[in-house]
């Protein structure tokens, strides 16, 4: 079954949707994206994703004419048109036609919304945990690029491919200073003596939406948490570890290369956070259903 894609104000089948080959996203990776997940037709943390996209668009000086409310409405319309409830959703904002000079700012970007059925990850990942490897690529913590979900995703792609070729589900980046940064498609957390620790944003990692949710859950539950530089040895010696992103949610990490994390199975704190995360998703659905119809966009 084919699904319609939103492109610059209208909906098209994938075969008929077109972006010019001179688009700056295609030529230079000059653009941004956001991925998110809907549950029963409700997009979890939709506004937060859109606000991050807008902040990054301002950083890259890509004009975006849609407001948060307008993008929210378009995302929900994309779900409705495709008759989707549980979906994978991707927003793409590219620089538009190359103006002929790199220093010139884009004038008319391309904005795309893709929604497809969500395919659940294996239950074993959440029951037994996943394995990761340390990527051979190092992150430059002084680069501002890693704070944004840019279309220039090559480092992440290469690291993820390297991991999967070795039989691992994720790759973890160290930065050039030797500290932990993040996964190729996730943020990283370690647990030691029931204290949550995650690499600070200055280590070259993305300010993940799910990362922020977890830190807020820790505050709500009274679980001590800390954002700071984290050594690789702290991961190897952790009692628990887990990965986060908007599609995979909270994913237990039980092995890194040849090192077993903790007891090699999902830990108590990780399990608590997984349950609280599910409750937060449920509460967002309840709040949405109680909202006035004009507030649902």
For residues 242 and 28, give the distance between their C-alpha atoms in angstroms, rounded to a whole number. Answer: 33
At residue 107, the pLDDT reads: 87
Whether 292 has a pLDDT exceeding 70, the answer reads no
At residue 295, the pLDDT reads: 40
Predicted confidence (pLDDT) per residue in 157-192, tens digit: 999 999 999 999 999 999 999 999 999 999 999 999
289 Cβ contact list (under 8 Å, min separation 6): none
Q: Which domains does the chain have, with CATH numbers?
A: 5-117 (3.30.470.10), 123-282 (3.20.10.10)
Quick one: average pLDDT of 20-32?
A: 95
- Quick one: what percent of the chain has pLDDT higher than 90? 90
Quick one: average pLDDT of 119-145?
A: 96
Q: How far is CA 275 from CA 44, 124, 192, in A?
A: 16, 16, 20
At residue 284, the pLDDT reads: 87
| Cα–Cα nearest to 130, from 257, 36, 234 | 257
Whether 199 has a pLDDT exceeding 70, the answer reads yes
Predicted confidence (pLDDT) per residue in 84-101, tens digit: 999 999 999 999 999 999
């Amino acid at each position: 079954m084919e699904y319609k894609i939103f492109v610059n104000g209208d909906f098209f089948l994938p075969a008929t949707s077109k972006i010019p080959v001179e688009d700056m996203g295609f030529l230079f990776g000059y653009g941004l994206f956001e991925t998110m997940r809907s549950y029963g037709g409700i997009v979890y943390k939709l506004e937060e994703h859109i606000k991050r996209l807008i902040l990054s668009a301002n950083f890259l000086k890509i004009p975006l004419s849609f407001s948060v409310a307008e993008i929210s409405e378009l995302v929900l319309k994309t779900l409705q048109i495709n008759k989707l409830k549980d979906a994978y959703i991707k927003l793409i904002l590219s620089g538009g036609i190359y103006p002929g000079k790199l220093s010139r700012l884009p004038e008319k970007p391309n904005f795309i919304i893709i929604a497809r059925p969500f395919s659940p990850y294996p239950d074993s990942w959440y029951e037994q945990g996943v394995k990761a490897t340390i990527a051979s690529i190092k992150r430059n913590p002084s680069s501002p690029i890693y704070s944004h979900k840019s279309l220039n995703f090559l480092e992440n792609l290469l690291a993820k491919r390297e991991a999967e070729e070795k039989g691992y589900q994720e790759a973890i980046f160290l930065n050039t200073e030797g500290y932990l940064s993040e996964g190729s498609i996730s943020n990283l957390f370690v647990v030691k003596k029931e204290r949550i620790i995650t690499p600070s944003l200055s280590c070259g990692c993305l300010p993940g939406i799910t990362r922020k949710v977890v830190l807020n859950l820790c505050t709500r539950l009274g679980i001590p948490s800390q954002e700071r530089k984290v050594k690789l040895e702290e991961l190897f010696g952790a009692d628990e570890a887990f990965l986060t992103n908007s599609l995979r949610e909270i994913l237990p990490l039980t092995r890194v290369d040849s090192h077993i994390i903790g007891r090699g199975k999902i830990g108590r704190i990780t399990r608590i956070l997984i349950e609280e995360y599910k409750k937060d998703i449920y509460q967002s659905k309840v709040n949405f259903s109680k909202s006035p119809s004009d507030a649902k966009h």
